[in-house]
């Protein structure tokens, strides 16, 4: 128990680390228009980044359609236009894991994508991904034998980086299916819920190594994220044998 307490203190210390505040405007949240999965063996996301309706300029979260069409307002006067060159978007998988675009996965975009990246420029119009849609070739939830990147939901975020400062929209998620929980609390996927699952969960939070971890089972407090509160909930369950209602 003493060892477990020390680990919990360490986790709380790690979670207390915060990012510096940015003075940049916050990008408007993206809008997901649809998710499509094909038996041919690929899937793709359709979206609109936070931008104006008429001119497709990226904007901050002070924008609204009403402001854009207010004829009594000065042109661009009532909301903030972001510089396109500093705007990118990022894709997120089920539990806030940022998706990495690699040249191996996207050979048709090799001219633009010459190294792994998590940020796609706002102006990019590639073969597989661009301003309006993003393909995920050879990965499908409905094609037998293919491993999906996204089992439960897919997310997208708009990023605004100028120099050493950055601001971000919210991660907007789109659920593509039910959360695939097999046994709540069975973190290590061995078919039982016991103290080894607490150890596995703590090790994951310290190392971020998801090998052998079932994150869907690990989200025991059902907050759609895996963090220190799940450790507490799992320990409470093992003591009481009852999940919180």
**What pLDDT is attached to residue 83?**
93
Tell me the pLDDT band of 69, cut-offs 50, 70 and 90: confident
pLDDT tens digits, residue range 2-41?
A: 444 544 554 554 444 444 557 899 999 999 999 998 887 8
Q: Does domain 181-240 have CATH number 1.10.1330.10?
A: yes
Question: Helices 228-240 and 2-15, interaxial angle, to 10°?
Answer: 150
pTM confidence score: 0.81
Confidence at residue 53, expressed as pLDDT on a 0 to 100 scale: 85
| Distance from C-alpha of 66 to C-alpha of 185, rounded to nearest angstrom | 47
pLDDT tens, position by position, 173-219: 999 989 889 999 999 999 999 999 999 999 989 887 777 888 999 99
pLDDT of residue 104: 87
Mean pLDDT score, 139-144: 83
Size of the chain, expressed as the number of residues it contains: 245
More confident residue, 18 or 129: 129
Q: Specify the range with the lowest mean pLDDT, choosing from 108-117, 127-136, 160-169, 192-201.
A: 108-117
* Predicted local confidence at residue 200, as pLDDT: 92
- For residue 158, the model assigns a pLDDT of 96
Domain boundaries, the chain: 31-175, 181-240
């Amino acid at each position: 128990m003493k060892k477990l307490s020390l680990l919990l203190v360490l986790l709380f210390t790690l979670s207390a680390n915060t990012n510096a505040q940015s003075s940049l405007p916050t990008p408007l949240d993206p809008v997901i228009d649809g998710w499509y999965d094909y038996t041919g063996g690929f899937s793709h996301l359709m979206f609109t980044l936070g931008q104006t309706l008429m001119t497709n300029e990226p904007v901050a979260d002070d924008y609204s359609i009403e402001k854009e069409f207010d004829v009594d307002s000065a042109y661009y006067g009532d909301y903030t236009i972001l510089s396109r060159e500093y705007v990118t978007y990022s894709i997120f998988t089920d539990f806030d894991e940022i998706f990495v675009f690699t040249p191996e996965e996207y050979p048709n975009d090799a001219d633009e994508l010459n190294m792994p990246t998590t940020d796609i420029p706002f102006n990019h119009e590639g073969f597989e991904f661009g301003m309006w849609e993003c393909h995920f070739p050879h990965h499908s939830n409905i094609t037998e034998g293919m491993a999906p990147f996204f089992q439960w939901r897919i997310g997208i975020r708009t990023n605004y980086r100028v120099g050493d400062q950055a601001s971000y929209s919210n991660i907007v998620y789109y659920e593509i299916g039910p959360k695939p929980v097999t046994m709540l609390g069975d973190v290590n996927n061995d078919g039982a819920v016991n103290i080894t699952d607490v150890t596995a969960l703590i090790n994951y939070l310290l190392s971020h190594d998801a090998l052998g971890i079932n994150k869907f089972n690990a989200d025991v407090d059902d907050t759609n994220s895996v963090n220190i509160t799940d450790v507490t909930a799992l320990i409470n369950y093992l003591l009481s044998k009852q999940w919180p209602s």
